[in-house]
Chain A
Amino acid sequence: MKKPSWFNVVSLTVGFAFLYIPMIVLVIFSFNESKLVSVWGGFSTKWYGELMQNRAFLDAAWVTLKVGFISSTIATVLGTMAAFVLVRAGRFRGRTLFSGMIYAPLVMPEVITGLSLLLLFIAVGMDRGVSTIVLAHATFSMCYVSVVVSSRMATFDESLEEAALDLGCSPWDAFRSVTLPIIAPAVASGWLLAFTLSLDDLVIASFTAGPSATTLPIKIYSSVRLGVSPEINALSTIIIGLVTIGVLVASITSKRAIQKQKRGELLAEH
């Protein structure tokens, strides 16, 4: 094993410092007693307490979770179907348009997606609220889901499905008892991605949300425009904490799965 050179050590240190110092400072100052965000006034959790009292934030959080949950579930169903169409359906009329519509939203600026959906909702006379945000989020995240699932599908051995048919399954039974369990991890990570995208989205939600529904990012954005506040620090810390735990759990489970696979392969050699 060669020793890491000083150049590598420096570039890694600088890179990670750049990525993490802002977040660490943010987390530390969320426990600041003082209202002034730049002056340390002693350790306190009072901003968390205040956050819990803040109805507006709690309502926005609830809307955000609701939108995220519903939209990512719709996106997962539609995105998985779209992945099947991309990988399996072969040639059909309008295929080019279809794959174009799957890939375009991935590179489309959010302002355009948001604007166009808003104009649609106005044109058909739909009241803006939770339902319009859900439709908007489901549309762009289904494209991400279909990319994740179709890259898994591309390596899927189709003879597994044929074997299921051969052993007496109907096509639907084959999908349910063979295909779905095998692609399930990709479908799950597609759902997670869609959920995160939905929780994270500011621009599209701003366009498609009405006065009746405000999401957390919209709320954060409007208060950040007014400057740094310890309450937002506390809220951000909670979100960062949840995401970190989520990613850690996910990576540990996948690491376990890989180790199990390796042990299995070792077993196979005997």
Chain B
Amino acid sequence: MSLARRLLISVPYTWLLALFLVPFLIVLKISLSDYANSIPPYTPTLEVGEGWSGIKEFWSALDFENFVFLTEDALYIKAYWSSLKIAALATFFTLLIGFPFAYGIANAPQEWRPSLLMLIILPFWTSFLIRIYALIGIISNDGFLNQFLMWIGAISDPLVIMNTNLAVYIGIVYTYLPFMVLPIYATLEKLDSSLLEAAQDLGCTRISAFWSVTVHLSKPGVIAGCFLVFIPALGEFVIPSLLGGSRTLMIGKVLWEEFFSNRDWPLASAVAVILLLVLIIPIVLLQRNEQMQREQNK
């Protein structure tokens, strides 16, 4: 191996080992430690100075106590469960809005499509936080939506959306919509319109042709879009913390509070490890979907 090649590989490799893998191993290790009222707030700490016996002592003090605690305290199980539920439902709503949206763009006149796509991507470049903030201005009790509805006389008392799970759903749909629209658009755009004509030629009605050709062939895009929304939504912190109420349970928020408010680092680490385990399944599914798409495009 030439020196240049070795250098090329080792620099990013070392960086990632030091700043991605090692930190994660530290999380894993602390998740097996116990909470202690000290600095740092966990025990044991590795005393390399004491030699082999120090390492042995350190090793024997690690246990799965935090994980056992997570299964015993209903709060955590509920938080995982409600994160899954919120992420799944929000993904479904995003698909409900995103599919017609993507379909509309794919069927817009050719010369409009680049501009329409840019309008989809533009919010994606705008700060995430600012978009959620903008949404607060709409859905809060004295927000634009309530004022508008009261002005036209549709309601007399403001709708309470802020600080509920509904606000979290709206927030996820609003911020992750581009992730759903873009992959679906990508598959719809490649769709050969003569396929629809062929289906109709072979006796399909327009609706059944839409169903059996368009919907069927856009499945890879739909699957990719769903996972691209579901995976980040599951670990979301900002949305439930700003839009959700005190009763909105999401695991990202729990982790944050466990760490910053309760200072229970070992427990926060255990929460993180479990969250990652929960995420592995959808991530693997997403990767398989992408691989299948790549193979089909060959």
Contacts and interface: CB of A to CB of B under 8 A. Distances in A.
A–B touching in complex (CB under 8 Å)? yes
Interface of A: 1, 4-5, 7-9, 11-12, 14-16, 18-23, 25-26, 29, 37-38, 78-79, 81-82, 84-85, 89, 92, 94, 97-98, 101-102, 104-105, 107-112, 115-117, 119-120, 122-123, 135-136, 139, 142, 146, 171-172, 196, 199-200, 202-203, 217, 220-221, 224-225, 228, 232-233, 236, 239-240, 243-244, 246-247, 251, 255
B12 A78 contact: yes
Contacts of B5: 89
Contact of B26 (A84, A123, A217, A247): A123
A111 B125 contact: no
Contacts of A142: 12, 15-16
A142 B19 CA distance: 11
B137 A37 contact: yes
Contacts of A85: 8-9, 12-13
B272 A25 contact: no
14 contacts: A4-B107, A9-B104, A15-B100, A19-B120, A22-B135, A78-B11, A81-B8, A107-B279, A109-B235, A117-B19, A139-B19, A142-B12, A199-B127, A200-B128
Given A12-B108, A21-B138, A92 B9 contact: yes
Interface in B83-107: 97, 100-101, 103-105, 107
B265 interface: yes
Interface in B66-95: none
Nearest to A122: B40
Nearest to A199: B127
B129 A220 contact: yes
B104 A107 contact: no
B60 interface: no
Main secondary structure of the interface of A (DSSP, over half): helix
B262 to A, nearest CB: 14
Contacts of A122: 40
A16 B98 CA distance: 11
A21 B261 CA distance: 36
Contacts of B30: 119
A232 B130 CA distance: 9
B127 A15 contact: no
Nearest to A224: B133
B267 to A, nearest CB: 12
Contact of A225 (B16, B242, B269): B242
Interface in B135-188: 135-138, 140, 142-144, 147, 174, 177, 181
Contacts of A12: 101, 104-105, 108, 116
Given A119-B269, A122-B40, A236-B134, A221 B255 contact: no
Contact of B133 (A20, A107, A116, A228): A228
Given A4-B104, A37-B142, 16 more contacts: A11-B103, A12-B116, A14-B97, A22-B144, A79-B12, A89-B5, A89-B9, A92-B9, A98-B9, A101-B17, A107-B283, A112-B27, A123-B26, A200-B128, A236-B130, A239-B130
Q: Which 4 A-B pairs have the closest CB atoms?
A: A109-B235, A11-B100, A116-B23, A15-B101
A82 B292 CA distance: 25
B256 A111 contact: yes
A220 B131 CA distance: 12
Interface string B219-253: 00000000000011011111001100000000010
A255 to B, nearest CB: 7
B114 interface: yes
Contacts of B24: 112, 116
Output the residue of A15, A79, A82, A146 with the most chain B CB within 10 A.
A15
